[in-house]
Chains A and B, each alone.
Chain A
Amino acid sequence: MNYAMVGRLVLKDWYLNRLALSLAVAGGAVALGLILRGGELAGVLGLSFAFVVLILIGVIPPMWNIVQERKNKSLAFVMSLPVSAMEFTTAKVVANASLYCLVWLGIVASVLWMLAAGGYASWIPLGILASLAPMAAFFLLVAVALVTESEKWSMVVMGACNVSYSFAWFLLVRLPQVRADATSGALVWSSLIVSIIAIELGVIVLSLVLTFYLQSRKTNFI
């Protein structure tokens, strides 16, 4: 593995996504500002806005860096460089994941800190669960975009994940045990919450493993 080459490709993708990253950072700051402002309406708006930012930053870089690169025929330019399929895949995963995780960590850590500091620590498990959902969707989208190189399939995954957030959230908060734990005032890690978080982490790991495995078996790159 030529790490210097991987690094150059990562820097290239960061540079090409500088606008999306700047907007995500600004959006995250606005969301956190709303939460910090206090009050129920501002808090709900801030949390919703933060969630939207997490979804958008999970969609824009993979669609731009991977799907559009292929569609705009710039992939051939990249693959004509002295880079192997695995180096290319590693660079794409690292570039996209680092962009995403930077924004995700900043927003999620801040929100969790605010919840703990504001006396809402019992909401932390649900907050982690909710914030891991767009991350799992992000890694799934990266995998599908890289492996299929298909805009259509990437859109299907993106749409399915976005619809499933509301549906999953709707089902989850209706469960009496989950509501009771969240409003108890104490930090409770129920087996249901832990299981769902484990599934989300499993989706992330599986997406990564499948991405590298399937890319290593690919025989056509442009």
Chain B
Amino acid sequence: MNGVAARLTGVGKDYRYFSLDDIHLEIPEGHIVGFIGPNGAGKSTTIRILMGLVHQDRGEVSVLGHRMPAEQVAAKWDIGFASEDMQLYESETLDWHMRFVRSIYEAWDEDYARTLRKRFDLRAEQRIKGMSHGQRTKAMLLLVLARRPRLLLLDEPTTGLDPVARHEVLRELTDVLTEDGRSVLFSSHNTQDVEQISDQITFIDRGRIVESRDKESFLERWRRVRVEVPTGVRLPALAGVIELRQDGRLAVATTNAFAADMPQVYEAMGARVQGVERMTLEEIFVASVQNSREGPGA
């Protein structure tokens, strides 16, 4: 599983009030990549470019070995796409949609579809317009998953779901990866969902990739260090410290390159380290975005 399911290289897309710029992103085979960004950051545009539904103005896009958007039809046979902005036909039943999708995809797995329908507690004969938001999302995912795509592109699939429905959806996505070679790009502004299931994480903000690495590295590299400094002393910013706040004798240093000897370095300066705290993905995301907005390139 060392291949790459999808790759964007130097991709850009210009709109009147928004630009996606110099996007470099890889989705390794067999991985769930969490794609986190605030509203309007460019998550949906990036995913639509991967689907070939929006054509990039510059850069190269390759999905499952196909150049996009030129070879989008060949690629879409193996891509499952679901988006918060996507709806099924309201006047028709889930069963009608299942028959329609089954008529297109030879790989449609009827047993798996039945299993998913039971697991998601959906009724085949129910019209889409009579379903709740959560049921509609699960119906959409059923249609996507039962055709056994090699790559899943999910644009905010858990937005607006209640905790139970969210849990069911996330569990199913994790199960998808038990089959070799399947890959997922999962966009959300809910860091909890992403933290729960992803093994790679990419932050995007204002149309640019801010940071991208595996989840463990993210969580290991970021720390908040609380330090008590002698009166009248200003704590210097060490390498890797992206934010340093000092109020009197108390200082808080946020770093994205934590090293085990960092507390000793501060203590060697006469400071007393009160604690080294791990950060949640949400805290890391906010700090990373703020750093990128205030940084030299901002």
Contact = CB atoms under 8 A, between A and B. Distances in A.
Given A5-B104, A16-B92, A77-B88, A220 B53 contact: yes
A83 B87 contact: no
B55 A80 contact: no
Contacts of B51: 79-80
Given A77-B88, A221-B54, 10 more contacts: A2-B73, A12-B100, A16-B92, A76-B81, A77-B86, A79-B53, A80-B51, A80-B82, A82-B77, A219-B54
The 8 closest A-B pairs by CB, nearest first: A219-B55, A76-B86, A73-B87, A80-B81, A82-B76, A82-B77, A221-B53, A84-B73
A103 to B, nearest CB: 21
17 contacts: A8-B100, A12-B100, A72-B89, A73-B87, A74-B88, A74-B89, A76-B81, A80-B76, A80-B81, A80-B82, A81-B101, A82-B76, A83-B76, A84-B72, A222-B53, A222-B54, A222-B85
Contacts, number: 63
Interface in B65-85: 72-74, 76-77, 79, 81-83, 85
Contacts of A82: 73-74, 76-77, 104
A87 B51 CA distance: 16
B85 A76 contact: yes
Q: How large is the interface on B (under 10, 10 to 19, 20 to 34, 35 or more residues)?
A: 20 to 34
A3 to B, nearest CB: 13
A221 B51 CA distance: 10
Interface of A is mostly: loop
Nearest to A76: B86
Range, interface on chain A: 20 to 34
Interface string A1-26: 01001001000100010000000000
B73 A222 contact: no
Interface in A61-84: 72-74, 76-77, 79-84
Contacts of B104: 5, 8, 81-82
A186 B182 CA distance: 73
Interface centre among B54, B86, B101 (most CB of A within 10 A): B86
A160 to B, nearest CB: 28
Interface of A: 2, 5, 8, 12, 16, 72-74, 76-77, 79-84, 87, 219-222
B149 to A, nearest CB: 10
A220 B86 contact: no
B73 A220 contact: no
